[in-house]
Amino acid sequence: MDYRQLGRSDLKVSGICLGTMTFGQQNTEADGHAQLDMARDAGINFIDTAEMYAVPARAETYGATESIVGNWLRRQARDRIVLATKIAGPARSLDWIRGGPPALDRANLRAALEGSLRRLRTDYVDLYQLHWPERNQPMFGQWQYDPAREAECTPIRAQLEALAELVAEGKIRYVGLSNEHPWGVMQFLRLADEYGLPRVVSIQNCYSLLNRVFEYGLVEICHREQVGVLPYSPLGFGHLTGKYLVDPAAPGRLTEFESFGQRYTKPNVVPAVTAYADLARKHGLSPTELALAFVYRRWFVTSTIIGATSLAQLSENIAAWARSLDQELMAEIEAVHLRYTNPVL
């Protein structure tokens, strides 16, 4: 396992990060702890969660994932784990979270973090991330910015000032973004530098063979500004395993929870997945190995967030770390990408 510096922080994170959003919904606490043990034993020191989890977001499971992670964490050497969590922002119908949640303002940032710390059974988190922006922007399957949807929101400077207080109190070590766009990243960086506020060290966005939009503008920003890149959904919610080609009703999040399908119903998804699966088999790889090895080995990726619902899946995902892709295979991947460019956004 490789360990890499996360942005300009002093955190050294494993090249694989264990995502935990299935804990408390598709996975029991015992399942979750078994996954965490397997990840730790494989050299993974980076754990990602969120106050909103388990997924799909429901009032009944709000905070369950953090509690499961916290019950495991209390038995570990805390300084050996890089722990990341996220605050839920507004613009989604999550009325059970702090009444909305209404904003990423000072009161909500403090309340959300204090709740996370209680559930995680720790007095600090290494990386605290804004799960999605408060402002109007397209996300989660949307692709067009609509100025008609503008509404009042907490200024980015005010968000950073509130986060600065929590950093000063020792409750947060570093700050990160998630589901963010180029304009937002640059504003966070500019304001941090201008006013001496916490500089974001990472961004967590969707990235896979099916969605390489991150490469258009954010890769350059992250490279030049030294912002760590943490891709999630490297398997395209299971599509890139090829299982839905064999059986469209195969067990998984997309068949179990209808709301997950919004990104994956676009016309070129199935043709693209078929092409990548055929390419994998041609080169003696499973579709899963091809998809994960591609993301693992991208030059700009700091750590890839993986998730699983079984130890067998997790073992396969970790084992794919040893796979490499030669120049011939990469050229063939690019040819498929040009034919089916970003069928998922």
53 is catalytic: yes
Residue 151 DSSP SS3 = coil
Do the beta carbons of residue 153 and residue 161 sit within 8 Å?
Answer: no
Do the beta carbons of residue 19 and residue 232 sit within 8 Å?
Answer: yes
Dihedral angle of Cα 301, 197, 12, 49, to the nearest 10 degrees = -70
Rounded Cα gap, residues 277 and 288, in angstroms: 9
Do the beta carbons of residue 87 and residue 99 sit within 8 Å?
Answer: no
Phi, psi of 55 (to 5 degrees): -115, 140
Residue 325: CA atoms inside 13 Å, Cβ hemisphere, count?
26
259-265 long-range CB contacts below 8 Å, 24 or more apart?
259/56, 260/56, 262/140, 262/141, 263/140, 263/141, 263/206, 263/211, 263/237, 263/344, 263/345, 264/236, 264/237, 264/239, 264/344
Do the beta carbons of residue 197 and residue 165 sit within 8 Å?
Answer: no
Distance linking the first and last C-alpha atoms of the chain: 30
User: Among 3, 53, 62, 296, which one carries the catalytic annotation?
Assistant: 53
Residue 257 DSSP SS3 = coil
- Within its chain, how far is the Cα of 120 from the centroid? 18
List active site positions.
Answer: 53
